[in-house]
Amino acid sequence: MGSRFAAGKPARLAGAVLGLCLVLQALPAGGASPLDRIVLPPGFAIELYARVPGARSMVVAEELGVVFVGTRGSRVFVVADVDGDRLADAVFPVIGGLNGANGIAWRDGRLFVAEQHRVVSFDAADINALGVARPRVLFDGLPDKSHHGWRYASLGPDGGLYVAVGAPCNICRGHGLEGTIVRLDADGGVPQVFARGVRNSVGMDFHPLSGELYFTDNGADGMGDDSPPDELNHAPRAGLHFGFPYYGGGADRTPDFEGEAVPPNEMPVVRFGAHVAALGMHFYRGRQFPPEYRGDAFVAQHGSWNRSVPDGYRVARVRFDGRGRAQGWEPFAEGWLVGGRAWGRPVDVKELGDGSLLVSDDRVGAIYRITYRGR
């Protein structure tokens, strides 16, 4: 990504950065997170890429040479590596006044934002234009409820915008679009429910071979330290049901609905630990990592807040075989949890053009970059 700053569009971005100097937030010197605690497989390294307040969802915009970063607050940030050294030179808010700016996506000069109550897009050929662009409302009928109200959005290979709409509760029967993943045409209109029975998904991606949707889902609270598991689910087509609220996660029935008949539903392809809070996910498509990583998924486990012994606070690797079938998961990056106390909380995982990974952390307010340097 950084090499694009040599000429042409990079110069336009550099001008945009200078034009936004009044809101430019210089990276603080020193005070780096204790990344020496992070344990990775041999040959991998992690470093601080940028500091972004409340960093959550990320989108890599290759044609602009920037990374957009969503938050649970009102702002979307831009992270710019102007000189191409793989360290951010500028971090600044590009859009504000949003009602929960967590769900973001980018394609062909358009930034999509799934707010708590609506989905909007901003048309912009460059950062200057984006900073003054007016929102185009694509749909304004999402459930306007704060419980599980932070959305996650991803553009599918079919051109549609997929938005996760969490259930507004711990365990309850959803109404309307609650507890679903919806598909919306990129130009707007009434969304169609793609998947039901989804408690709270905050991560999705499409398999690079099949183009089929995979998404994380957070299990219910209050069912014990070790129940229910968090999930990675596979939705190869529209119309499937994924068990909530009859199941709190996996095959663990919820006490509220244990006496009710369960509609036909899909079980997760991977069960994570209970309450690890599996959030953002990304299928690895690059070539910097060893070949065996291609087609595997990386999942950010935000970490448990409701377990007597904390778990999560890591980036997990989900192995897939050559036919695109999930084979189970293993830790990839650990060390945000030390001695039962967490100093950081991974949220999302995305890939730069050089095949390195970015990991956001909303506790520290940071983005890390993971590279492979050889054994």
pTM assigned to the model: 0.92
pLDDT at 126: 86
pLDDT at 33: 53
Rounded to the nearest integer, the mean pLDDT of the chain is 91
pLDDT at 41: 98
CA torsion, ordered 203, 209, 211, 213, to nearest 10 deg: -30
Cβ-contact 32, 48 below 8 angstroms: yes
pLDDT at 15: 45
Q: How confident is the model at residue 12 (pLDDT cuts 50, 70, 90)?
A: very low
Q: Name the CATH superfamily housing domain 2-372.
A: TolB, C-terminal domain (2.120.10.30)
Token pair 């991803």: residue: 154
- Report the candidate in 241, 258, 230 with the shortest Cα–Cα distance to residue 198: 241
Q: Could you report the per-residue pLDDT of 18-73, keeping only the tens digit for each? A: 344 333 333 333 444 589 999 999 999 999 999 999 999 999 998 888 999 999 99
pLDDT at 133: 93
Domain limits, the chain: 2-372
pLDDT at 1: 41
CA distances from 300 to 204, 232, 292, 316, 357 (A): 11, 12, 20, 6, 12
pLDDT at 20: 42
Strand partners, 283: 297
> Is 178's pLDDT higher than 70?
yes
> Is 5's pLDDT higher than 50?
no
DSSP labels, 264-316: S-PPPSEEEEET--EEEEEE---SSS-GGGTT-EEEEE---SS-SS----EEE
pLDDT at 61: 94
Q: Could you report the per-residue pLDDT of 331-342, keeping only the tens digit for each? A: 999 999 999 999
Q: Could you report the per-residue pLDDT of 189-232, keeping only the tens digit for each? A: 999 999 999 999 999 999 999 999 999 999 999 999 999 999 99
| Rounded Cα–Cα distance for residues 129 and 126 (Å) | 6
Q: Which amino acid, 356?
A: S
> Which helix or strand (DSSP H or E) is residue 351 part of?
strand 346-351
Q: Could you report the per-residue pLDDT of 239-282, keeping only the tens digit for each? A: 999 999 999 999 999 999 998 999 999 999 999 999 999 999 99
Average pLDDT (144-166) is 97
